[in-house]
Amino acid sequence: MSSRKHTRYKLLLDEGLPPKENFPALNNLHSVKHIKHDLKQGGAKDPAIYKIAEEDNYLVVVFNTKDFKPMVEDNKPTVICLSTGITNKQIDQKICGILKKLKPGQKRGHLVSASIC
């Protein structure tokens, strides 16, 4: 039985998300930065956040899908979109699950939904 090597992704949490400390599993498995708390870019507009993600090779995690969707293009950062009303524990589990299944080609230019039904 072959085991798949773990890929450590770089994630950038949008300002609307709680600080990264609220996501213990995600922090343990991946490199997580929060736009406001870690990068001190609170109040940055969405295009500026996306540009930071592009320059530093992050995947972006957001609640406001409609604002980021138009920015997603081939060879640009993938955006993981969360539904509102989701708990921190659900966010932690859902994103870890998505990243575990993410194919190398999906690191760029994709919009990934992480809704909880």
Q: Which domains does the chain have, with CATH numbers?
A: 10-114 (3.40.50)
**Burial zone of 9 (CB within 10 Å; 0-12 exposed, 13-18 middle, 19+ buried):** buried
pLDDT tens digits for the chain (117 residues)? Answer: 455 678 999 999 999 999 999 999 999 999 999 999 999 999 999 999 999 999 999 999 999 889 999 999 999 999 999 988 899 999 999 999 999 999 888 999 999 988 765
DSSP for 47-71, please give it: HHHHHHHHHHT-EEEES-HHHHGGG
| 3-class secondary structure, 99 | helix
**Burial zone of 102 (CB within 10 Å; 0-12 exposed, 13-18 middle, 19+ buried):** middle
At 90, which helix (H) or strand (E)? helix 88-101
Confidence at residue 3, expressed as pLDDT on a 0 to 100 scale = 55
Confidence at residue 116, expressed as pLDDT on a 0 to 100 scale = 63
Nearest residue to 94 (alpha-carbon basis) of 66, 65, 70, 117 = 117
21 φψ region: left (φ > 0), alpha (ψ -120 to 50), beta (else):
alpha
